[in-house]
Amino acid sequence: MSEILRAFLLGGCICIVGQVLIDFTKITPARIMVLFVVTGVVLGIFGLYQPLIDWGGAGATVPLLGFGNVLAKGVIKEVDEAGLLGIFTGGVKAAAAGITAAITFGYIMAIISKPKIKS
C-alpha cells in the first residue's frame, strides 16, 4: 500500500513542477513534454534519477522524466557493451517498447475512434 502512496506523492509532485512551469512561464504543454524528456536524459546520465525510482517506483517511471531516464540508461549500457556504436543504438533500443507501443496503440485508436464534434 505504501508503495502506491509513494508513487502518488512523487508523481503528483513531478506534475506540480510541470504545472508551475505552465502557469508561470506560459510555455506550452508540448514544450513541457520535450523539456521533461531531455531533463530525464540529463538526470539519467549522471545517475541522479535512480534514487527517485527506488523511492517512488511508478511515480518516477510513469512521468516523461522516466522516459528520458530510460534513454540515458540504455545509452550507458550499450556504450559499455558495444563501445562507440552504442551511442547510436542505446537510447532507442531501451525505449523501443515505449515507442512501438505508442505508435501501435496510437494508430489503432486513431483509426477506430471518432473525434468529438466541437460545439
Partner 1 sequence: MKKQISKHEYQKLVEEKAPGSHFIKNLFAAFITGGAICAVGQIVMLIFENFGADKELSASATSIIMIFIGAFLTGINIYDEIGKFGGAGASVPITGFSNSIVSPAMEFKKEGHVMGVGAKMFLIAGPVLVYGIFASVIAGLFYFIWKQVM
Q: Is residue 14 within the footprint of partner 1 (CB under 8 A)?
A: yes
Q: Smallest distance from the beta carbon of 37 to partner 1, in angstroms?
A: 4
Q: Smallest distance from the beta carbon of 49 to partner 1, in angstroms?
A: 12
Q: Is residue 52 within the footprint of partner 1 (CB under 8 A)?
A: no
Q: Which of 25, 48, 51, 108 binds partner 1 (CB under 8 A)?
A: 108
Q: Is residue 44 within the footprint of partner 1 (CB under 8 A)?
A: yes
Q: Which of 60, 59, 57, 80 is nearest to 69 (CA)?
A: 60
Q: Is residue 119 within the footprint of partner 1 (CB under 8 A)?
A: no
Specify the DSSP class assigned to residue 57. Answer: T
Q: Is residue 109 within the footprint of partner 1 (CB under 8 A)?
A: yes
Q: Smallest distance from the beta carbon of 51 to partner 1, in angstroms?
A: 14
Grid cell listed for 89: 543504438
Q: Is residue 103 within the footprint of partner 1 (CB under 8 A)?
A: yes
Half-sphere exposure of 40 (CA within 13 A, CB side): 27
Q: What sign does the CA torsion over 22, 27, 33, 38 have?
A: negative
Q: Are 13 and 62 in contact (CB under 8 A)?
A: no
